Amino acid sequence: MKVTDFFKHNFVLIPVIASIIFGTVTGIKYIVDLTNTIDANNQRVEKLLDDLETIDDKYRDKIDTLKDDLNEAENLNSQEIAELKAEVAKLDSALRMGEDLYRVLADQVREQSYDIKDLNR
Contacts 24+ apart (CB under 8 A), 31-36: none
Greater model confidence, 2 or 71: 71
pLDDT exceeds 90 at position 18: no
The verdict on residue 69 lying in a domain is yes
Share of the chain above pLDDT 90, in %: 45
The verdict on residue 96 lying in a domain is no
Mean pLDDT of the 86-107 span: 92
The verdict on residue 101 lying in a domain is no
Residues 6 or more apart whose CB falls under 8 angstroms from that of 7 comprise: 14
The verdict on residue 19 lying in a domain is yes
Quote the number of domains for the chain: 1
Mean pLDDT of the 100-112 span: 90
Kindly report, residue by residue over 32-63, the tens digit of the pLDDT.
999 999 999 999 999 999 999 988 888 888 88
The verdict on residue 44 lying in a domain is yes
pLDDT, position 42: 96
Structural domain span for residue 43: 2-85
The verdict on residue 15 lying in a domain is yes
pTM for the structure as a whole: 0.44
